[in-house]
Structure 1
Amino acid sequence: MPRSRRTTVQAPTSRGRGRDRHGRGIRSSATGPFLPPLRTRVDTFDMTIASTVDYLRMVWPAELADVSFEVAAGPLNVIPGVGVARYAVDARERRITFFRLPIQRLSGLHRDDEFHQRMVIESCVFRGVAELLGKDPWDLAPDRFRHF
């Protein structure tokens, strides 16, 4: 018996974020409803920058009142003879931009854990603010390092 040449065209299916796969229902988050969402490296980096900036604004309120702090993925160019910048200070506009990828990936840590990563990020914030204010990074918070 000859087959009919008539073909049926099915409507395209929507493959959105919460698609129903094989009748199992919409997918849930990876952590489930009772656990907090996972922290990403970007979130950790942003929180570290924000907490360090908040601390420095408490110590130097008048000097840092009009300074804006920004986070970018990376610099637009490489500085010849120096390499990739970790931060950029614009004294005229009172702005410091921190570059996340060079700080996280090019730091060369001797121990790659969360504590040492946070120390590298904080040191970049201290160095950027010190460069803007014309001070030594150790002079920004002298009492913070006197534990003895």
Structure 2
Amino acid sequence: MRRKPPLVTPVDRGRGRSRHGRGGRSSVTGPDLAPLVTRAETFDRIVGDTAHYLVQLWSDELTGVVFQVADMPTDQTLPERMPRWRVDRAERRVTIFRIPVERVTRRPEKDDVDRRIVIETAVFRAVGELIDKDPWDLAPDRYRHW
């Protein structure tokens, strides 16, 4: 099976933590089990899958676009509402902010499918903003069965 090239580049999250000077943490699963997949890694994968899907559909419009995932916006001048993504047309860059997007799904009745839909919706809306299209028009055949 051929692996997709990485399309989404996560912004440095500072993975190595040393709380209270005790050094780095060890793996929860131990050396004999596969490592756990974190929420951030799952978020990166969903954004990457959605970006690959949209690049295949809109290859001319999305050529050279860089997709990034950041935890939070770092701007000093934020609008009244917390942005969930940032589109930079000049640099052809789309940045999805993980924590604001995840906060939408913080209710206990939400499951993994609902979380995935919220993340995909953020990517669709950001790409729609980048290429001046309605997000529903980006993949019209995908929703025809509804």
Using structure 1 for the length normalisation, give the TM-score.
Answer: 0.73
Which structure's CA Rg is the greater one? 1
After TM superposition, list the pairs within 5 Å mapping 1:33-72 onto structure 2. Answer: 33=32, 35-72=33-70
Distance in 1 between residues matched to 2:105 and 2:78, nearest whole Å: 17
Residue 101 (structure 1) aligns with? 99
Taking a change above 3 Å as real, the CA distance of residues 136 and 108 of structure 1, as seen in their structure-2 partners, is farther
| RMSD across aligned positions (CA) | 2.5
Taking a change above 3 Å as real, the CA distance of residues 109 and 142 of structure 1, as seen in their structure-2 partners, is farther
Q: Deviations over 1:118-145 (max 9, x none)?
A: 1000000000000000000000000111
Taking a change above 3 Å as real, the CA distance of residues 80 and 62 of structure 1, as seen in their structure-2 partners, is closer
- How far has the Cα of 1:106 moved from its partner? 3.9
Taking a change above 3 Å as real, the CA distance of residues 31 and 114 of structure 1, as seen in their structure-2 partners, is farther
| 74, 77, 80: which one aligns with 1:76 | 74
Taking a change above 3 Å as real, the CA distance of residues 92 and 40 of structure 1, as seen in their structure-2 partners, is same
Task: Kindly provide the amino acid, as one letter, of the partner of residue 46 in structure 1.
Answer: D
Q: Deviations over 1:55-111 (max 9, x none)?
A: 001101111111111111111246444x10000011111111111111112456583
Give percent identity, aligned residues only.
46
Note if contact 1:109-1:116 (Cα within 8 Å) is conserved in structure 2. Answer: no
- How far has the Cα of 1:17 moved from its partner? 6.1
Higher RCO (C-alpha under 8 Å, 6+ residues apart)? 2
Task: Kindly provide the amino acid, as one letter, of the partner of residue 30 in structure 1.
Answer: T
Task: Kindly provide the amino acid, as one letter, of the partner of residue 138 in structure 2.
Answer: L
After TM superposition, list the pairs within 5 Å mapping 1:4-19 onto structure 2. Answer: none
Note if contact 2:105-2:114 (Cα within 8 Å) is conserved in structure 1. Answer: no
Distance in 1 between residues matched to 2:136 and 2:27, nearest whole Å: 47
Taking a change above 3 Å as real, the CA distance of residues 138 and 93 of structure 1, as seen in their structure-2 partners, is same
Structure 2 SS opposite 1:88: strand
Of residues 134-143 and 69-78 in structure 1, the stretch that sits farther from structure 2 once superposed is 69-78
| 124, 130, 136: which one aligns with 2:134 | 136
Distance in 2 between residues matched to 1:36 and 1:42, nearest whole Å: 17
Using structure 2 for the length normalisation, give the TM-score.
Answer: 0.74
Residue 115 (structure 1) aligns with? 113
**Structure 1 spans left out of the alignment, 5+ residues:** 1-14, 19-26
